[in-house]
Amino acid sequence: MAMSAIVACNNKKPMLTQAPQNPAETPTSQQTWNYGQLTDTIRNAKVIAHVKNGIYCGRGTCASVSIIEVDKKDTIRVLELSSMHSDFVQGEKVSIKPGKKPLSSISLPTIAAYDSKNYKTYYGTILAAN
Protein backbone atom coordinates (compact mmCIF):
# COMPACT_ATOMS: atom_id res chain seq x y z
CA MET A 1 0.00 0.00 0.00
CA ALA A 2 2.82 2.46 0.83
CA MET A 3 4.37 2.09 -2.63
CA SER A 4 1.05 2.80 -4.37
CA ALA A 5 0.66 5.93 -2.23
CA ILE A 6 4.12 7.08 -3.26
CA VAL A 7 3.44 6.53 -6.95
CA ALA A 8 0.05 8.20 -6.71
CA CYS A 9 1.56 11.26 -5.08
CA ASN A 10 4.33 11.91 -7.48
CA ASN A 11 5.01 11.51 -11.15
CA LYS A 12 8.67 12.61 -10.78
CA LYS A 13 10.81 9.75 -9.39
CA PRO A 14 9.51 9.75 -5.80
CA MET A 15 11.72 9.42 -2.76
CA LEU A 16 10.22 8.17 0.50
CA THR A 17 11.39 9.85 3.65
CA GLN A 18 10.34 10.00 7.27
CA ALA A 19 9.74 13.29 9.02
CA PRO A 20 12.79 12.96 11.28
CA GLN A 21 12.71 13.73 14.98
CA ASN A 22 16.40 14.57 14.86
CA PRO A 23 19.20 14.33 12.28
CA ALA A 24 20.29 10.90 13.58
CA GLU A 25 16.96 9.46 12.38
CA THR A 26 17.25 10.90 8.87
CA PRO A 27 17.20 8.27 6.09
CA THR A 28 20.54 7.52 4.41
CA SER A 29 19.69 9.42 1.21
CA GLN A 30 19.14 12.59 3.24
CA GLN A 31 21.83 12.38 5.93
CA THR A 32 22.91 15.95 5.21
CA TRP A 33 19.41 17.39 5.58
CA ASN A 34 19.07 19.51 8.71
CA TYR A 35 15.42 20.18 9.67
CA GLY A 36 14.21 23.32 11.43
CA GLN A 37 10.94 25.06 12.27
CA LEU A 38 10.06 28.47 10.82
CA THR A 39 8.58 30.87 13.36
CA ASP A 40 7.80 33.82 11.05
CA THR A 41 6.96 34.36 7.39
CA ILE A 42 10.00 34.89 5.18
CA ARG A 43 9.45 37.66 2.65
CA ASN A 44 11.18 38.65 -0.56
CA ALA A 45 13.00 35.33 -1.01
CA LYS A 46 14.11 34.05 -4.44
CA VAL A 47 13.40 30.65 -6.01
CA ILE A 48 16.57 28.83 -7.06
CA ALA A 49 14.87 25.53 -7.98
CA HIS A 50 11.36 24.10 -7.57
CA VAL A 51 9.77 20.70 -8.27
CA LYS A 52 6.12 20.20 -7.40
CA ASN A 53 4.81 16.88 -6.17
CA GLY A 54 2.74 16.08 -9.27
CA ILE A 55 -0.83 15.43 -8.09
CA TYR A 56 -3.05 15.69 -5.01
CA CYS A 57 -2.00 13.28 -2.31
CA GLY A 58 -4.99 11.22 -1.19
CA ARG A 59 -3.99 8.64 1.45
CA GLY A 60 -0.26 9.36 1.36
CA THR A 61 1.51 12.59 2.22
CA CYS A 62 3.39 14.34 -0.58
CA ALA A 63 5.46 17.50 -0.74
CA SER A 64 6.97 19.77 -3.34
CA VAL A 65 10.65 20.64 -2.89
CA SER A 66 12.03 24.14 -3.39
CA ILE A 67 15.50 25.59 -2.99
CA ILE A 68 15.10 29.20 -1.85
CA GLU A 69 17.64 31.99 -1.47
CA VAL A 70 16.56 33.92 1.62
CA ASP A 71 19.30 36.50 1.23
CA LYS A 72 22.70 36.60 -0.45
CA LYS A 73 24.22 34.58 2.43
CA ASP A 74 21.49 32.02 3.17
CA THR A 75 19.82 29.34 1.04
CA ILE A 76 17.22 26.93 2.44
CA ARG A 77 15.16 23.93 1.29
CA VAL A 78 11.37 24.20 1.68
CA LEU A 79 9.02 21.20 1.70
CA GLU A 80 5.43 22.19 0.96
CA LEU A 81 2.93 19.47 1.84
CA SER A 82 0.20 18.60 -0.70
CA SER A 83 1.21 21.51 -2.90
CA MET A 84 -0.63 21.84 -6.22
CA HIS A 85 -0.09 25.50 -7.10
CA SER A 86 1.61 26.53 -10.32
CA ASP A 87 5.30 25.95 -10.75
CA PHE A 88 7.53 28.71 -9.49
CA VAL A 89 10.22 29.74 -11.94
CA GLN A 90 13.87 30.30 -11.17
CA GLY A 91 14.44 33.84 -9.91
CA GLU A 92 10.78 34.41 -8.91
CA LYS A 93 10.27 36.34 -5.67
CA VAL A 94 8.22 34.48 -3.03
CA SER A 95 7.15 34.51 0.59
CA ILE A 96 7.26 31.42 2.81
CA LYS A 97 4.74 30.90 5.62
CA PRO A 98 5.69 28.46 8.40
CA GLY A 99 4.29 24.94 8.04
CA LYS A 100 3.98 21.91 10.31
CA LYS A 101 6.03 18.74 10.20
CA PRO A 102 3.85 15.80 9.07
CA LEU A 103 3.13 12.91 11.41
CA SER A 104 3.72 10.31 8.70
CA SER A 105 6.19 9.46 5.96
CA ILE A 106 6.20 11.72 2.93
CA SER A 107 6.95 11.29 -0.75
CA LEU A 108 9.31 13.86 -2.27
CA PRO A 109 10.48 14.56 -5.79
CA THR A 110 14.22 14.93 -6.12
CA ILE A 111 16.30 17.84 -7.36
CA ALA A 112 19.52 15.95 -8.08
CA ALA A 113 21.78 19.00 -8.12
CA TYR A 114 20.62 20.01 -4.62
CA ASP A 115 19.54 16.86 -2.74
CA SER A 116 22.96 16.13 -1.26
CA LYS A 117 23.63 19.73 -0.19
CA ASN A 118 23.35 20.62 3.49
CA TYR A 119 20.62 23.26 3.35
CA LYS A 120 18.49 23.88 6.42
CA THR A 121 15.13 22.27 5.56
CA TYR A 122 11.74 23.65 6.62
CA TYR A 123 8.09 22.76 6.10
CA GLY A 124 6.20 25.77 4.79
CA THR A 125 3.76 27.24 2.28
CA ILE A 126 5.25 29.15 -0.64
CA LEU A 127 3.32 32.15 -1.95
CA ALA A 128 4.06 34.52 -4.81
CA ALA A 129 5.50 37.75 -3.36
CA ASN A 130 3.14 40.74 -3.34
Domain for residue 3, yes or no?
no
Domain annotation covers residue 26? no
Structural domain span for residue 122? 35-128
Q: Is residue 72 part of a domain?
A: yes
Let me know if residue 76 belongs to a domain. Answer: yes
The number of folded domains in the chain is: 1
Q: Which are the contacts of 77, defined by CB distance < 8 A and separation ≥ 6?
A: 33, 65, 66, 67, 68, 114, 119, 120, 121, 122
- The whole-number pLDDT of residue 84 equals 63
Neighbours of 126 (CB within 10 A): 23
Q: Is residue 69 part of a domain?
A: yes
Is 70 within a domain? yes
User: Is position 90 within any domain?
Assistant: yes
Ordered per-residue pLDDT tens for the chain, 130 residues: 444 444 444 444 343 333 433 333 334 444 568 899 999 999 999 999 998 876 556 666 788 899 999 988 899 999 988 766 667 889 999 999 999 888 877 778 888 888 888 899 999 999 988 7
The pLDDT, as a whole number, for residue 45 is: 96
Flag whether 8 is in a domain: no
- CA separation for the pair 3, 87 (Å, rounded): 25
User: Residue 109 has what pLDDT?
Assistant: 82
Predicted pLDDT at 111: 85
- Spell 66-98 as b/e; 16+ CB within 10 A means b: bbbebeeeebbbbbbbbbeeeebeeeeebbbee
